[in-house]
Structure 1
């Protein structure tokens, strides 16, 4: 059988390629040279399978798409409380380069420039040198991508020549005692971070690493702790597309981040990582074709975050009653993924087993279990055994952990 997904992506790209709206960014000389007709889409699955269509191997500077990954590194290095002292998590409703501060002087979130510069300065241990931080950022984002990412020195120099506003933002936060270190070091490091080269396949793998709880699906490396990804994805969902974030979550429903070079990244927890690239931007700074591609993917494949799959009500595969002559035990057979909602259905079924009757809990058709699902099932078994009931467990995949 020929896998239909590559053809689906090809068709989707062709459908979105006729949109010539928007303009290539003109304020950064090197980015202004981009070919406006380039268009690529990449998708990575939970097992590390990577698909690409169009200009999938064309490399471009990551720009603001680096922000969630820098935020992840800062959280992993300094801890949530320390990072939250310096940078908030509330949507700003402002453009990416606006002065968006709370009354305390804390930037509203890490996805706008003033918050991203502050976040960059928190990466690594306290007192780290600028070069050491640059190395940590490059290695960290490379780990998310599953390969070494290089800095585009020409883009770096071009952005450095237009850094006055970012410097002003950094000095403003520094004056409010929210910036760790010297403003010019933070801005220079932030620009190097934004100048790392990626393609849409890299974006898809990076996104899937976030969506898989920090484990890179290609290399198997646990890049950051799972709790970090929960925090990052939450902020992406509310702040990642700047002042279009609300509209984006309503229509697309995938935690995402855009960049002014034309890239868009989306991470759908547990399902897919997606990257798109097309240099023409709308008035907000998001890729016109990239946004359209995400809208089509979400609609065609049912990828909206709020469109939950109907799995909880189908957790019960069947109940095998004991023989009429009393031989054998009742079997309660479960299937699917044991998360909270699914296990709640299973627990109510277990309650229907008559008092004093022993039974078999058959997990041979269960694919996986969350920590909560596993804990609740084990607690139910322990309580039944405490009532002096025999409970046998068929668990060939070690769902309950031994």
Structure 2
């Protein structure tokens, strides 16, 4: 069978192809872009890629680099140290405004230019020179994409010819003591970072790397720690689409970042990474057709971050019964806080006078850290009530029960019907 996902993406492109908006004309090289290019790509958690349209067309990453440079700075120095230099509050301003906190003088967030220039200087050790720091950023962007990225030297030179406003922004944060190096070096490095070449498939993989907690789905590399990915996704949600962030969160509901070359990257935790490309921009600097494509994906595939999940009413499987004098409890589905809490309430109803309790988690599809800790505690309390607890865990999802210190809990991996 041929998967229909690619055909679905092609259909979306054909239905979102109206030609309003205009290319970024304040950068000469971007002003010359073909406005008719249109592409979309999706990446699943296991690294499967789907794409449609001009998916092989490469373009400069521009501001989509901002969340990834922020991630690298967080990886290198920790969240607290980076927060001393760059805040996380939405500015409500355009991407190139002077958005500084009155009390501290630090930039409002890392998704606007003044914050992104600052963030670039925080990647790597403080004593790195300009070339080494920029190389570290480009290498890091490539780790997120799963391949080595090149820089478009023509776009870099073109942007450097119109760099005056960014140079003024860098001078402000230097005057406030937020950065310590020269503003010229910071702007050159940031501008080269923005000139890295990607396509929509790269964006989809980069988005999925964040959505998988920092693990690249193609290479398996843990590019940044999970807590860094969570922090970046949080800031993208509130600040990634500039002064249109509220409209985006309401209509699309996918953490995202746009770039003035026409790209948009989306990352929905645990589900999908997405990339679109279309050079025509709206008044906020976001791709007009890219926004439409994301709206369709969110609506058609129910990908909104605030989607109400189905209630976990079937945590306890129908196979619960007494089997050869033992109480058999079969757990199933995704085991998170809500479903694990239901399982604990079920454990509560097991009378202390009953004998052995067999807890079968072979039908549990996923088990996060919270669900695992809650089940560990529930099993320990069943044992404390005098039950001999036997855990059927064929996939090893529970890990070490009690760290070896709870000998009255045993794990077995038998044939279920032969217990």
Native 8 Å contact 2:38 2:278 kept in 1: yes
What does the per-residue CA deviation read over 1:176-233, in whole Å, with 9 as the maximum and x for residues that have no partner? 1111422111100000100000000000000000000000001100000000011000
Query: 2:57 maps to what in 1?
Result: 58
Runs (4 or more) in structure 1 with deviation over 3 Å come to none
Shift of 1:170: 0.3
Partners of 1:194 and 1:342 lie apart in 2 by 44
Q: Single out whichever of 342-351 and 161-170 deviates more from structure 2.
A: 342-351
State the SS of the aligned residue for 2:322.
coil
**C-alpha contact (below 8 Å) 1:241/1:286 kept by paired residues:** yes
Whole-angstrom CA distance in 1 between matches of 2:176 and 2:236: 25
Q: Match of 1:86, SS?
A: coil
Residue equivalent to 2:27: 28
Please point out which of 315, 334, 338 is paired with 1:337.
Answer: 334
Distance 1:172 1:134 in 2: 21
Q: Is the 8 A contact 1:117 1:187 kept in 2?
A: yes
The question of whether the paired residues in 1 share the 8 Å contact of 2:68 and 2:141 is answered with yes
Secondary structure of the residue aligned to 1:312 is coil
- C-alpha separation between the residues in 1 aligned to 2:316 and 2:12? 37
Indicate yes or no: 2:382 matched with 1:384.
yes
Aligned match of 2:357: 359
Q: Distance in 2 between matches of 1:25 and 1:260?
A: 6
User: Quick check: 1:195 aligned with 2:195?
Assistant: yes
What is the alpha-carbon distance in structure 2 between the residues aligned to residue 14 and residue 342 of structure 1? 41
| 1:202-213 matches, cutoff 5 A | 202-213=202-213
- Checking the alignment, whether the CA contact within 8 Å between 1:334 and 1:362 is kept in structure 2 is yes
Q: CA deviation at 1:43?
A: 0.3
1:244 equivalenced with 2:244 (yes/no): yes
Q: CA deviation at 1:307?
A: 0.4
State the partner residue of 1:172.
172
| Aligned twin of 1:393 | 391
Aligned to 2:90: 91
- C-alpha distance in structure 1 between counterparts of 2:8 and 2:309, whole Å: 21
Residue deviations 1:317-370, cap 9 Å, x none?
2352215xxx33121111122111111111111112122323111101112211
Q: Distance in 2 between matches of 1:356 and 1:370?
A: 31
Task: Name the structure 1 match of 2:412.
Answer: none
CA shift, 1:399, in A, is 0.8
Checking the alignment, whether the CA contact within 8 Å between 2:352 and 2:386 is kept in structure 1 is no
- The CA distance in 2 between the partners of 1:192 and 1:174, in whole Å, is 20
The 5 A counterparts of 1:1-400 are 1-17=1-17, 19-103=18-102, 104-310=104-310, 312-322=312-322, 327-357=324-354, 358-400=356-398
CA distance in 2, matches of 1:328, 1:141: 58
Compared CA separation, residues 238 and 370, structure 1 to 2 (3 A): same
| 122-131 or 265-274, larger mean C-alpha shift | 122-131
Which of 335-344 and 155-164 deviates more? 335-344
After superposition, give the CA deviation of every residue in 1:6-45 in whole Å (9 maximum; x if it has no partner): 111111111101x111001100000111100000000000
SS at match of 1:274: strand
SS of structure 1 residue aligned to 2:267: strand
Question: Does the 8 Å CA contact 1:118/1:179 hold for their aligned counterparts?
Answer: yes
The aligned length equals 398
Q: Provide Cα deviations, 1:254-309, integer angstroms capped at 9, x if missing partner.
A: 00000000000000000000000000000110000000000000000000001043
Task: Tell me if the contact between 2:352 and 2:385 (Cα under 8 Å) persists in the aligned partners.
Answer: no
In 2: Cα distance, 1:249 partner to 1:90 partner = 15
Q: Tell me whether 356-365 or 97-106 shows the greater mean CA deviation.
A: 356-365
CA distance in 2, matches of 1:375, 1:20: 52
Deviation at 1:311, TM superposition (A): 5.3
TM-score with structure 2 length normalisation? 0.93
Taking structure 1 as the reference length, the TM-score comes to: 0.97
CA–CA distance in structure 2, aligned partners of residues 245 and 271 of structure 1: 21
- For residues 234-259 of structure 1, what are the alpha-carbon distances to aligned partners after superposition, in whole Å with 9 as ceiling and x for unaligned? 00000000000001000100000000
1: CA distance, partners of 2:84 / 2:343: 42
CA contact (8 A) 1:122 1:180 kept: no
1:318 counterpart SS class: coil
CA distance in 1, matches of 2:135, 2:273: 25
